[in-house]
Amino acid sequence: MAFLLACVPARAIVLNPPVFLSGGLAASFSHTVSVPIDVVKTRIQSDPVKHANGALACAATIVAEEGPAVLLAGGTSTLLGYFLQGSLKYGLYDAFKPELAGALPSDAPKIAVLLLAGVSAEAIASLVLCPLEALRIRAVCDASYAQLPLPVGLARILRSGDAFGGLVPIWLKMCPYTALQLSTYELTRASTEQLLPGGGGLSGQLGCAVVAAVVASLGSQPGDALLSAVNQRAEEGFEMSDGASLARPSLLDVAGELGATGLFRGTGARLLQMLIIVVVQLVANDFFRELSGARSVGR
């Protein structure tokens, strides 16, 4: 992937500012409106015994014990983190597609180009998102972070040395999520444009976004569970009762501890969250792109 991009001179990559801005606005809006669902999903993943009765029971418990305001925990880091991530994700995805198409063999399927473009764009976008996502998870799971202003909480995360401790799991979560979301939406939108008058209008657009949401959610669920587990363990620390430090478990150790059941714990809450996020995000992104004069996805 990196080799393919390196084969193309940097000056040949065309960056379209309206696409970056549209993606940032759409991603920050869609992720922020779903913050309460994300809080519930993260609590289920971090304390499965306490919240074993599902998303609705978990939400009721949180509100009863801590008040409704906790359902907005991590909202500011989500807003900023996903504005930056969305800008890079959509902007670089569009920029990389023609370059990868030229670098790959001429008979390479279009899906290969789209998936590689999505993975490449997200690998960069996640570098910016990682410390802010760590802050969001801490704000949900640790009361000492929940009330901190964004600059203070982010500085604390950066000083802790764990700001990028979740980078590999965030790549495992976000790279398949972005690649599957954008490629599925682009291909289905292009198909509806060919098969239905006007691409099926809003109904066709929403249908394509729902398909993209389901595919992206299921494909990135194991990485999401790993990310929550890694950040939770980083916050808890690893010390023995005599004060001696324990070695941090590897990603494989965490995955083995979670098992297949743990890796897909919270799937229902996350699927609901992804349906809201992806559908709102893709529709909003198309709206902002058309407003700014850029072509909408799949056209």
Q: Tens digit of pLDDT for each residue in 176-186?
A: 999 999 999 99
Confidence band (pLDDT; 50, 70, 90) for 11? very low
Averaged pLDDT, 52-63: 88
In this structure, is residue 3 part of a structural domain? Answer: no
CA dist 135 and 129 (Å) reads: 10
Sorted by sequence, the CB contacts under 8 Å of residue 239 that are 6+ apart come out as 245, 246
- Output the six-digit token pair for 31: 């992720």
Q: Mean pLDDT of all residues in the chain?
A: 85
Is residue 222 a contact partner of residue 270, using CB atoms and an 8 Å limit? Answer: no
Angle at 188 between CA 108 and CA 175, to 5 degrees: 65
Averaged pLDDT, 64-71: 89
Domain span at 269: 8-292
Least confident of 3-17, 34-48, 136-150, 240-254: 240-254
CA dist 31 and 95 (Å) reads: 23
Q: Could you give the number of structural domains in the chain?
A: 1
Confidence band (pLDDT; 50, 70, 90) for 245? very low
In this structure, is residue 174 part of a structural domain? Answer: yes
Helix or strand holding residue 228 (H, E): helix 201-236
In this structure, is residue 54 part of a structural domain? Answer: yes
User: Residue 44: what are its φ and ψ, rounded to 5°?
Assistant: -60, -40
Residue 106 has pLDDT above 70, yes or no: yes
In this structure, is residue 299 part of a structural domain? Answer: no
Confidence band (pLDDT; 50, 70, 90) for 9? very low
Averaged pLDDT, 90-107: 92
At 7 the three-state DSSP class reads coil
CA dist 213 and 230 (Å) reads: 25
Its pTM stands at 0.79
Sorted by sequence, the CB contacts under 8 Å of residue 114 that are 6+ apart come out as 97, 179, 182, 183, 186, 187
**CA distance readout (Å), 254 to 47, 135, 162:** 15, 20, 16
262-293 pLDDT, tens digit each? 888 878 878 888 898 899 999 999 999 999 88
Residue 120 has pLDDT above 90, yes or no: yes
CA dist 240 and 244 (Å) reads: 5
Residue 62 has pLDDT above 60, yes or no: yes
In this structure, is residue 52 part of a structural domain? Answer: yes
CATH number at residue 260: 1.50.40.10
In this structure, is residue 2 part of a structural domain? Answer: no
Helix or strand holding residue 105 (H, E): none
Strand partners, 245: 239
In this structure, is residue 1 part of a structural domain? Answer: no
